[in-house]
Chains A and B, each alone.
Chain A
Amino acid sequence: MDISTKLLTMLLAILLFVAVVGLMLFIAGRTERRSASIVGYVFLFPSIIMVSVGLLYPAVRTIFQSFFDAAGKAFVGLDNYQTIFTSSDDLLVLRNTVLWVVVTPFVATAIGLLYAILVDGARGEAFAKSLIFLPMAISMVAASIIWKFVYEFRPDQPGVRQIGLLNQVVVWLGGSPQQWIVNSPWNTFFLIVVMIWIQAGFAMTILSAAIKAIPEDIIEAARLDGVTAIGMFRFVTLPSIRPSVIVVLTTIGIGTLKVFDVVRTMTGGNFNTNVVANEFYTQSFRASNQGLGSALAVLLFVLVVPIVVYNVRQLRASEAR
């Protein structure tokens, strides 16, 4: 296929898509007389089809497979789950995952929020925000190389120079180089730093817009009341952007549960840094153990339930308002 064919294919695909959607809307317009409900279903139809086929069906299939053996042939009941909860290695994986999910969203959101407030309205704000956003634009492969150059260890021997930034700083300050990636449990936190580095940009972007959306009059009223900067934050800013903060925390939290690239490329899951998502990938794709891999995926589904429940409550509460 040469370039022109590829571009043509792309244009045709877009045209086809527009045609299909147009048809849908036309049908919706026509049936609206009969009942508003049907319009809703028509609008929803393509999305529901796509997520059902692309996500729901695989998810259900996965839940099924978690009760079967490695090849997916023999029914083994809860064996896979038993393996997960009795193996010390796997319990460690759980502990690490919980650490990731608890630390990443809160720290990334806090930094994003802090930065958004600090640069809000300042000169060069757009440029300043691009700097924090830049890590999001970088692919995982690039990010892992970048952080390799930060955490790399070289022994403190004559003739050997540090090539990792962190160890160089430590040496400059008079210390001896550390194996940041190997020594647990701190190595997990160093990996979490990479994720925070990436996600802070997402938090900052969304929260910055939320802050800008706070009506001036409210701010003005508070200022006229003589509120301090901290007070402003506590009583005006934070309550106003609370829903956005929840959106950000939720999205980052769910994203963190699923991400395994950082762990996979930096430690391969060794040195006690393994997380559920990485182990799921290893079992399903490397060790060819469908059953255990699926059970780990189900574990991911379960871990997200609290987040879902919390959001549903928020949804109900806001609807009531």
Chain B
Amino acid sequence: MSSKRSSRTLAALSGGLGIALALTACSSGGSGGTTASGGTTTAASGDCAAFASYGDLTGKTVSVYTGIVTPEDQPYMDSYKPFEDCTHAKIVYTGDKAFETQILVRTKAGSPPDIAIVPQPGLLAQLVATGAAKEAPKAVADNVDKFWGADWKAYGSVDGKFYAAPSGASVKSLVWYSPKEFTDAGYKVPTTLDELKTLSDTIAATGKKPWCAGIASGEATGWPITDWMEDFMLRLSGPDAYDQWVTHKIAFNSAASTAALDAVGGYLKNDKYVNGGLGDVTSIATTTFQDGGLPILEGTCSLHRQASFYASNFPKGTKVAEDGDVYAFYLPGVKAADHPVLGGGEFNLAFSDRPEVQAFQTYLSSDLWANTKAKISSESTGGGWISANKGLDVANLTNPIDKLSATILQDPKTVFRFDGSDMMPAAIGSDAFWKQATAWITGQSTKDAVDKIEAAWPKS
């Protein structure tokens, strides 16, 4: 009896096994993937002449992986539509908040995306070091020479080889303020750092704390202080010293950078200046960076130093304009003629040299894409996106902050430098710098902070 049963079982099992294997092989071949466009190819908006050079890419797919999620992801996906419509390729967009860690894991494991939008040159260098990244094609390099310039090209290069064209950009040397308060009290927008200090003292004398700040950001807590320090390093020691500091040609605890951090302390650790509407100095550490500038709207704070992307943090209905509820002025240099600008940006790095990937890369580095994206962003999310692409028509930007930032970037007098912590090795820029800055704001001395960061710099 048992042998009959067991042979029947065996038959059933092997039959099931066979069917299962066969069907699994068939179904796992499915490609799937989420299309960026709506799916149906509508009539191409505008003419496709600009895309003719890319050829017909029907049936080809390009995957894009980024850290940009809702709501900023929709404009990206929409800006790819003209490319998809005219070349018939499919662009698959994946946004992931854990991008910065996952891109490394995926690349090291051998399954990188076709294109990654990388927000830090330091991370770019790490990805190139894995050997999986591909150099940018000539068409892209030509575009970058035409529309950006040597400094932006350098940010997208590693060891002299050019890999990634810039995508979006942000200006960080901005101070947010309330235009109404300034007009009512008769304050003037400062044009030098000394004037900024005087303004702060004037406001403090009225009993109000002039500055508000917040640095809490989960595991990235502390990053706004890095921006402060970089801005001051750039202004007090000049762009050349800044470059040396970022590349570790001068130590992190050298006199110049120590002075820069102390200068920041003159603002952020000054209990007469902070933390307007939010508490005392230590409250800076627990206030999220998103909440850091909101007291301006409530009138309990006057000045907040933060990047151009901060505009999206104000509640719906806030008028962000030169004559509105809140606006920003350029953080001045030591002298009125100085024009150092700290900024950030993203870069399109490719891991494949398939023709469709290269075609898409070229599209992304063109002025056509920059203007398309700017128009779409202005319409759908009210702006908040700019590019350092010189071919970008500022008229396409409707948001006043965007206009201000783009104008600053395109100004020939501007001395632009990329965010330092984004260029330093990850052990510093994504760990020690943030951690020690946070400890610094809650009581650690400047000397200890810079010493510990210097000690954490990878030896090699």
**Complex: how many Å from CA A12 to CA B25?**
10
Contact B20 A19 (CB under 8 A): yes
Contact of B20 among A12, A26, A268, A271 (CB under 8 A): A12
Contact A268 B221 (CB under 8 A): yes
Q: Fill in one digit per residue for B149-168: 1 if any A CB lies within 8 Å of its CB, else 0.
A: 00000000000000000000
Which of B16, B100, B431, B434 has the largest count of A CB atoms less than 10 A from its CB? B431
**Complex: how many Å from CA A14 to CA B327?**
59
- The count of chain A contact residues (Cβ–Cβ below 8 Å) is 42
Contact B438 A16 (CB under 8 A): no
**Complex: how many Å from CA A20 to CA B220?**
46
Residues 9-25 (chain B) with a chain A CB within 8 angstroms? 9-10, 13-14, 16-17, 19-21, 23-24
Contacts of A159 in B (CB 8 A): 298, 300
Question: Within 8 Å of chain B (Cβ to Cβ): is A288?
Answer: yes
**Complex: how many Å from CA A92 to CA B90?**
51
Contact A1 B32 (CB under 8 A): yes
Q: Which of A104-112, A203-211, A279-287 contacts B (4 or more CB under 8 A)?
A: A279-287
Contact B286 A13 (CB under 8 A): no
**Complex: how many Å from CA A91 to CA B435?**
16
Question: Within 8 Å of chain A (Cβ to Cβ): is B297?
Answer: no
Question: Within 8 Å of chain A (Cβ to Cβ): is B277?
Answer: yes
Contacts of A89 in B (CB 8 A): 452
Interface of B is mostly: helix
Contact of A153 among B6, B16, B28, B283 (CB under 8 A): B283
Question: Within 8 Å of chain B (Cβ to Cβ): is A181?
Answer: yes
Knowing A19-B16, A287-B427, A288-B104, the reply to whether A155 touches B278 (Cβ < 8 A) is yes
Contact A182 B431 (CB under 8 A): no
Contact A155 B280 (CB under 8 A): yes
Name the CB-closest residue of B to A264. B219
Question: Within 8 Å of chain A (Cβ to Cβ): is B282?
Answer: yes
Contacts of A286 in B (CB 8 A): 100-101, 219, 426, 430-431
A27 CB, min distance to chain B CBs, angstroms = 10
Contact B17 A160 (CB under 8 A): no
Question: Within 8 Å of chain A (Cβ to Cβ): is B126?
Answer: yes
Question: Within 8 Å of chain A (Cβ to Cβ): is B82?
Answer: no
Since A26-B6, A153-B286, A155-B283 are in contact, a sample of 20 more A-B pairs with Cβ atoms closer than 8 Å, ordered by chain A residue number, is A9-B27, A13-B24, A18-B16, A19-B17, A70-B460, A89-B452, A153-B279, A155-B279, A157-B277, A179-B286, A268-B219, A268-B438, A271-B438, A271-B439, A285-B105, A286-B219, A286-B430, A286-B431, A287-B431, A289-B427
Cβ contacts A to B, 9 pairs, < 8 Å: A1-B32, A16-B21, A19-B13, A19-B17, A22-B9, A26-B13, A157-B300, A179-B282, A285-B101
